[in-house]
Amino acid sequence: MAILTFENVSLIRQQQPLLNNINWQIQEGENWAILGLNGAGKTLLLQLITGSLWPSAGKLTVLDQVFGQTSIPELSKRIGWVSTALQYRLNVNDTAERIVLSGKFASIGIYQAFTEEDLERAKEILISLDAKSLIGKNYHFLSQGERQIVLIARALMADPELLILDEPCNGLDLFAREELLIKIDHLVRQPEAPSLLFVTHHTEEILPFISHVMMLKNGEIFAKGQRQEILTPDLLPKFYDKPVTSYQLTEQRQMILPVNHLS
């Protein structure tokens, strides 16, 4: 099954194309990264997938549901979306497990009846992410990295078929970033893991758990394909339109810096 399919999708505002003629498909079992600089259109693309925006042209199918022929609220329940922006809408006085539990209802806060089993499951998801120590702690007192882990657990509470991580490493120091990436790597290796869509500015965050990469530039797909075919010394300078240097951090991980960076 295709997780999502874009067929000639465009998003136009005031006669200006913000996203132009997007053709793209994610198959079940694939984990994709979207790589792009500020203003490339990454957030707009995610808003289309989640139904927050509507295509101006083309056909968009997400989890076998064709936009215009399906209920967006029902579809949204099948998608987990983790974004730093969500942190500012949560009740910071709630405990970590209550934040996770709210994901069952896709709500900010808990206004519905829940069972003790629901609360236990929220705790179990935290434990599965090696975050048992967060149980019982107020969200307000958690570090940025810990908050991101709680948000991922919250997204998993509804058993999503597609998990979107929108720049999950944003604001993390290098140690917290590595810890979070390790947890994501562990998560996607689980037998029942959802398909992953990982959005980032940084090539060094695209680890082997990502099978495919799509480069988005000025609202258009610059390149897409398997990770090893996209993150290459030939393609990256063309994508950035500037000379860059690739530093091989490990066999399957690299960092890109401008040629004229400070050293």
* Position 69 in a domain: yes
More confident residue, 103 or 262: 103
172, 145 contact by CB (below 8 A): yes
Q: What is the pLDDT of residues 111-133, one digit of tens each?
A: 565 678 888 999 999 999 999 99
Q: Mean pLDDT in the chain?
A: 89
* Position 116 in a domain: yes
Highest mean pLDDT among 93-97, 190-194, 211-215, 233-237: 211-215
- Tokens describing residue 155: 């997204």
d(CA 194, CA 180): 17
- Tokens describing residue 41: 């259109």
Q: What is the pLDDT of residues 191-205, one digit of tens each?
A: 889 999 999 999 999
* Position 94 in a domain: yes
In 3D, which of 149, 196, 197, 199 has the Cα closest to residue 172?
149
DSSP labels, 131-193: -GGGTT-BGGGS-HHHHHHHHHHHHHTT--SEEEEESTTTT--HHHHHHHHHHHHHHHTSTTP
Q: What is the pLDDT of residues 224-253, one digit of tens each?
A: 999 999 998 889 999 998 888 877 777 778
Write the CATH number for 246. Answer: 3.40.50.300
Side-chain-side CA neighbours of residue 97 (13 Å)? 20
Count of C-beta atoms within a 10 Å radius of residue 151: 24
Full domain range(s) for residue 137: 2-258
Q: What is the pLDDT of residues 33-65, one digit of tens each?
A: 999 998 899 999 999 999 989 999 999 999 999
- Tokens describing residue 50: 């989640």
Number of independent structural domains in the chain: 1
In 3D, which of 33, 41, 40, 34 has the Cα closest to residue 241?
40
* Position 67 in a domain: yes
Distances from the Cα of 191 to the Cαs of 78, 86, 132, 250, in angstroms? 18, 28, 21, 26
* Position 40 in a domain: yes
* Position 97 in a domain: yes
Q: For residue 263, is pLDDT > 60?
A: no
